Structure 1
Amino acid sequence: MSVWPLLEDDEMPARSAAVIDDIRATRKTDFINNFWRVLANDPALLERTWASLKDVMGPGVLDPKVKEMLYVAVSIANSCEYCIRSHTAAARAKGMSEAELGELMAIVGMASETNRLAIGLQVPVDAAFGVPFAGAREPDAG
């Protein structure tokens, strides 16, 4: 059970309703999932979260399916059932096959295992891995 109620459209504050309208328009769907309906209880949180997600998951260098698959992997690492399910559905909608999902799960499992081995054994990082890659920017001073 959610800490905050799942708000129906007619129960939302006006600011939240405006964000929900933008989610519908951006995603070209009438479906609004429970995540957004819970966040609608706090208009500022909903606005901030939607703006960030819209930016990060929007057009960029990475393919939209790859972005969703990365979201699934991180959600597995963080044990977020809701996000695993919603982003697996999104990745499938963007063309992820069952074979790709299986390979993704194998990678997540392998990375988890080798991460724990490296952490537990306190393996020092190789000097060669500390070299910045070509064209890397220096962080902004300020």
Structure 2
Amino acid sequence: MSIMPVLSDEEAGAAARAVFDDIRDTRQTDFVNNFWRVLANDPALLARTWDKLKAVMGPGSIDPLVKEMIYVAVSVTNGCQYCIHSHTAAARAKGMTDQQLMELMAVVGAANETNRLVNGLQVPVDEAFLSDPKA
């Protein structure tokens, strides 16, 4: 259960409704999810977060599916159930298959394991990894 209300369009103020409209327009959908509806309790936070996410997840040199898969991986590592579900749905909508999801989870599991081993053992970074490959 959310510690702040999940605001409907009617309950949200004009500034929050303007962000909701931009979400709908940008995503070409009528659906505004609960994350945005809870952030609408602070319209400035809602707008700031939406603007940043829209820029980061928007067109760029990384494929949109890859961006969603990265978001899933980070969400798994951080234990964010909401983000795991919402970004898995977004990745599936962009074409992610079950096989790709399982391979992604294998990479996430392996990376988390080896990260913990390296951190626990305090393995020094190899000099070769510190040099500039363009130099």
* Residue aligned with 1:71, SS: helix
The letter of the residue matching 1:7 is L
Report the alpha carbon displacement of residue 132 of structure 1 after superposing the two structures with TM. 2.6
- Consecutive unaligned residues in structure 2, runs of 5 or more: none
Paired residue for 2:108?
108
The letter of the residue matching 1:123 is V
TM-score (norm 1): 0.93
Paired residue for 2:63?
63
The letter of the residue matching 1:86 is S
Give CA-to-partner distance per residue, 1:90-128, whole Å, 9 cap, x none. 000000010000000000000011001111111000011
**What is the distance in 2 between the residues matched to 1:12 and 1:67?**
30
Paired residue for 1:54?
54
Paired residue for 2:84?
84
* Residue aligned with 1:11, SS: coil
Report the alpha carbon displacement of residue 32 of structure 1 after superposing the two structures with TM. 0.7
RMSD between aligned residues: 1.0
Report the alpha carbon displacement of residue 44 of structure 1 after superposing the two structures with TM. 0.2
What percentage of residue pairs aligned between the two structures are identical? 67
Paired residue for 1:2?
2
**What is the distance in 1 between the residues matched to 2:28 and 2:78?**
29
**What is the distance in 2 between the residues matched to 1:44 and 1:58?**
21
Aligned residues, how many? 135
**What is the distance in 2 between the residues matched to 1:107 and 1:86?**
20
TM-score (norm 2): 0.98
Report the alpha carbon displacement of residue 3 of structure 1 after superposing the two structures with TM. 1.2
* Residue aligned with 1:37, SS: helix
Report the alpha carbon displacement of residue 134 of structure 1 after superposing the two structures with TM. 2.8
Paired residue for 2:93?
93
Report the alpha carbon displacement of residue 133 of structure 1 after superposing the two structures with TM. 4.0
**What is the distance in 2 between the residues matched to 1:15 and 1:8?**
13
**What is the distance in 2 between the residues matched to 1:15 and 1:74?**
30
**What is the distance in 2 between the residues matched to 1:132 and 1:88?**
35
* 2:104 is equivalent to residue 124 of structure 1: no
